[in-house]
Amino acid sequence: MRFIYPAIFRQKPDGTYMGFFPDLEDCVSQGDTLEEAVDRANEAALNWITVELEDDCPLPSISDAEDMPLQEGDIIRNIAVTIRFTDGWDE
């Protein structure tokens, strides 16, 4: 199954990037480059969603870009996570 959540990336004063998911509480990433921060955000989202599903918790609704807490210079990327529920199953 595929899950897609938006992440917001901000460049920090030292030139590195941090990313966070408005919909996934405390799900964050960091990287020396934007690409690295996006890759790490994908891993963080995969782990976050996997834990929620294992605990039978409902996943949060997806925020609309207009409702996100954006600052000047923020970059939004949709992060797609694919989770296989059974061996050999593929979407």
pLDDT digits (tens, 9 = 90+) for 8-56: 999 999 999 999 999 999 999 999 999 999 999 999 999 999 999 999 9
Q: Is residue 89 part of a domain?
A: no
Domain CATH code at residue 52: 3.30.160.250
pLDDT, position 69 = 83
Whether 71 has a pLDDT exceeding 90, the answer reads yes
Query: How many domains in the chain?
Result: 1
Q: Which domain holds residue 73?
A: 2-82
Q: Is residue 29 part of a domain?
A: yes
Q: Is residue 88 part of a domain?
A: no
Q: What is the pTM of this model?
A: 0.87
Q: Is residue 90 part of a domain?
A: no
Phi and psi angles of residue 56, each rounded to the nearest 5 degrees, phi first: 55, 35
Q: What is the mean pLDDT of the chain?
A: 92
Whether 68 has a pLDDT exceeding 60, the answer reads yes
Q: Can you tell me the mean pLDDT for 71-86?
A: 91
